[in-house]
Structure 1
Amino acid sequence: MNQTTAGGAARPARTPLNTQQIRGFWAAWFGWTLDGMDSIIYALVLVPALTELLPRSGIAATPAHIGLAGSILFALFLVGWGLSFIWGPIADRFGRTRVLAATIFGYALFTGLAAMSQNVWELAVFRLLAGIGIGGEWALAGTFVAESWPEDRRKMGAGFLQTGYYAGFFIAAALNFTVGAHYGWRAMFLCGLFPVVVSIYTMLKVGEPDKWEHAAKPTRRSPLSEIFSAQYRRRTLVNSTLLTVAIIGLWAGAVYEPAAIIQLALKQGMSHLQAVHMASIGTGILSIGTILGCLALPPMAERFGRKNTLSLYFLGMAICIVISFGWAFYVPNGLDVFIATLFFLGFFGGNFAMFSLWLPEQYETRVRATAFAFNTSIGRFLGAAVNFILAAAVGHMGTLGTPVAWTAVAFVAGLLVIPFALETRGEVLPS
């Protein structure tokens, strides 16, 4: 069946999605949405949580100690996310949906348990364990959608899927505006238990993609070693480098954004409650921009190619980070200007949708989940190191804006790496 364009030319109708594909997508999308919600909850409740828990741990809740402890906990979360590459080989051997359900259950459980923390050490353990689940969810959700959707729809499916993570930011901001502002940080972490429902639904209602069911299963050779074979070595090294660049930018733009807004709001004479509300509004604006960036990316990648489109997004990220944290943060009464730049920072932050679309196209089904999980997780270790460097720079310089603005350099480095990547525009998903 054909559709007619405005110019009168016929074009093939898109393949309709069946019930299983629709059900599976929404399970993956909601899992990724609640993943994003759980990820940003900690950034939103960092100060009140540590203000209460540090004294219980024998540490004075001074701004310096809160900043140091916050950086350590951020780093531990990223280390947990880095360790989540273990889910890939498991999914390549035992299936996408069951392992996807396990990752959702894991991050939901440990996010909820964080509400029970009695000291900073317990919170650190729960954040580490939640990170392992959160990192695995993206790899499994992206792999599942790529393998289950028809070829003529899977690219846009990747863009739709990636909007979920940033819809989660928006939900977290709304919860912080209401639940967090009135009931405190423990209630926010308890909200993170909700994904357990999605996990159960995924286990009971969603089947495995046909591509995985009919693909050759991994041989005795480790899938992790195979993605570094002569066939895949270059693309794995390039992909993991590009993901590392994107990760550094995500944590600069998203994690430090609430703290930056709170500082600017308090400097302009707002109350603490008003500052929290402004941080929620800023996070919401960032989220809306990112969702639009995710939706715009697949059509651009199809028209201009994967490498050209990612170059545009990386360049936009570099410019927006410098404008927001390097300039607007220091403008007198610059809160409104800073928040306005967050929309564009969010739009170009949609570069993560490229990897949901691009990574599955570069690996065969038998190692696809392993490759996706490794490439999207390994950069978290470097992200953890950068987090410590940022914390030290903030402490040394006595300001948040300039150190974060320097992370734009990572995107410049990424622009130099992109030419070495594999262009897959016009190619079908490998079997």
Structure 2
Amino acid sequence: MEIQRYSEHIEVGSEKITGYQWKTLWTSTIGYAMDGLDMMILAFTMPLIIAYFGINAAQAGSVSTITLLGSVLGGIIFGVLADKYGRVRIFTWTILIFSIFTGLCAIAPNLETLIVFRFLAGLGLGGEFGIGMTLVSEAWPRKYRSRATAVVATGFQFGIILATLAVLFISPKFGWQGVFIAGVLPAILAFWSRKNLEEPQLWINLKNQNKNKVAVGQLFSSRKTTKVTIGLIIATSVQNFGFYGIMTWMPTMLATELNVTFNKTTWWTIITITGMVIGIMVFGYLADRIGRRPAYLIFLFASAIIVWIYFQQSSMSMLLALGGILGFFVNGMMGGYGALLAEHYPTAARSSAENIIFNIGRAVAGFAPFIIGYISLNHSLSFALSLISGIYLLSALAFIFLIPETKGMELT
């Protein structure tokens, strides 16, 4: 069944965007929102979970760690399966797994059971980014590919907003269990949105030729491809390290060094996330207009500068004022990874590449909170966070020497 059968469209310049393409965008954005929602409801409800089970900080940290491990493993497994069995089919299964085990967390009788449920929920959650980005990249025309995947990337930020609202309005009456139950509702919407969604024509062609095999080896099929894969792993590691490092420790820094109340911390979060959403959309536009590498180099150098300047500030008003700029550059680059990763690999290995490379970056980022916390033992948190500026220069070197330009590339 060809994509062209979807007759609904709107005119954009000289290209037509079909109803099918809008639906892939919608479903993938909702799917990635589940990623942000899940990560943050766990973070926001952690104090309640600690009190409920009577556990210490180390035990609580194990819940977050096991979720991350499940997400990384699930991303790799389901990314490979999506290349073999189809993007939409595996996408649907990932959200179903996530929904079931997120809901079961609410009835976990002890810490051990909660850890098991969180690991299994993480498995389903891990496939969301790569499969959704692959689906959109293969469905949308190359002229608008980066802008389309940028919209998907904003889903994570909206997931954070949903998590904030859920904890704010639900936890006072229904505790942390109620928040996890509420987290299932958007997942059900994401599951429903995939109803009657067809596979991309690129993957259908592959299946008809009986070439939908496991093709992980194509990430290292030649010296040139291996260099690109290494470069992209560096880039995604830096992206995730910076995001999780800052978002994990920033509220603590505000509270310990500036004695900032929870309400003002919430304002910082809102301003920063707003900057992130705007940055993602602007980056997607720039990547389509001037190219992937120029857009990344601009944002990477700007990120290095703003991070260093930002953590030299000691005034809360300045931190609030600059928060949107920080979010704009540091997380704006998420607007390009979906298209960037898709354009370097063939259809047979595209979903595997998206999920494996991005989740390796996420695994590396799992060390960010520990490294920053360790440095802060002998220095201030603001000093430790300011050192993050240097990692963006490492990513810039990867784009200069390892990652070629792919703007306008036709997917094969």
TM range (shorter): 0.7 to 0.9
Q: Equivalent of 1:362, from 307, 330, 344?
A: 344
Aligned 8 A contact 1:27 1:198 in 2: no
- 2:225 maps to which residue? 232
Matches within 5 A, 1:251-290: 251-263=244-256, 267-268=259-260, 270=261, 275=262, 277-290=263-276
Mapping for residues 420-431 of structure 1, pairs under 5 Å: 420-431=401-412
1:99-152 deviations in whole A, cap 9, x for unaligned? Answer: 111122223333333333444433333333333222210001100001112233
In the alignment, the residues of structure 1 paired with residue 82 and residue 391 of structure 2 have an alpha-carbon distance, to the nearest angstrom, of 31
Alignment partners' CA distance in 1, 2:363 and 2:119 = 12
Change (3 A) 1:258 1:185: farther
Tell me the C-alpha RMSD between the 2 structures. 2.7
Equivalent position of 1:79 in the other structure? 69
How many residue pairs match? The answer is 398
* Contact 1:249/1:317 (8 A) holds in 2: no
Q: 1:141 aligns with which of 132, 139, 149?
A: 132
Identity of aligned residues (%): 23
Q: Counterpart in 2 of 1:306?
A: 292
Which of these residues, 308, 332, 343, is aligned with residue 350 of structure 1? 332
Picking from 358, 379, 384, the partner of 1:376 is 358
Residue in structure 1 matching 2:312, options 312, 327, 331? 327
Match of 2:49 in 1: 49
Unaligned runs of at least 5 residues, structure 1: 1-10, 60-64
Distance in 2 separating the partners of 1:301 and 1:153: 10
Tell me how far 1:220 sits from its aligned partner.
9.0
Residues 380 and 298 of structure 1: CA distance in aligned 2, closer, same or farther (over 3 Å): closer
Q: Deviations over 1:267-287 (max 9, x none)?
A: 25x4xxxx1x44333322222
Distance 1:27 1:339 in 2: 33
Aligned to 2:237: 244
State which of 294, 301, 314 in structure 2 corresponds to 1:315: 301
Q: Is the 8 A contact 1:305 1:423 kept in 2?
A: no
Q: Which amino acid aligns with 1:327?
A: Q
Please name the residue that 1:110 is paired with. Answer: 101
In structure 1, how many angstroms separate the alpha carbons of the residues matched to 2:306 and 2:369? Answer: 19
CA displacement, residues 216-275 of structure 1 (integer Å, 9 cap, x when unaligned): 66759741122111162121111111101111011012233344445467x25x4xxxx1
| TM-score, length of structure 1 as denominator length | 0.83
- In the superposition, the TM-score normalised over structure 2's length comes to 0.87
Which residue of the partner structure matches residue 17 of structure 1?
A: 17
Deviation by residue 1:141-199 (Cα, 9 ceiling, x = unmatched): 10000111223332221111111111212222233333345543332222211233234
Call closer, same or farther: CA 1:401–1:312 in 2, change over 3 Å: same
- The answer on whether the counterparts of 1:93 and 1:218 sit within 8 Å (CA) in structure 2 is no
The equivalent residue for 2:205 is: 214
Deviation at 1:94, TM superposition (A): 0.5
Mapped to 1, the partners of 2:40 and 2:333 lie a distance apart of: 18
| Corresponding residue number in structure 1 for 2:398 | 417
Uncovered stretches (5+) of structure 2, i.e. residues with no partner: 1-10
Change (3 A) 1:204 1:12: closer
* SS of equivalent residue, structure 1 residue 17: strand
Instruction: Give the corresponding residue for 1:30.
Output: 30
Q: CA deviation at 1:351?
A: 0.9
C-alpha distance in 1, partners of 2:301/2:112? 39
CA gap 1:189/1:146 in 2 versus in 1, 3 angstroms: same
Contact 2:50/2:60, CA 8 A, preserved across alignment: yes
Cα-to-partner distance string for 1:61-117 (whole Å, 9 max, x where unaligned) = xxxx42x44544333333222212111110011100111111222233333333334
Could you tell which deviates more after superposition, 374-383 or 133-142?
374-383
Distance 2:289 2:38 in 1: 34
1:292 Cα shift? 0.4
Provide the rounded CA distance (Å) in 2 between the counterparts of 1:112 and 1:408.
38
Distance 1:183 1:177 in 2: 11
Amino acid at match of 1:280: T
Q: What is the alpha-carbon distance in structure 2 between the residues aligned to residue 393 and residue 71 of structure 1?
A: 18
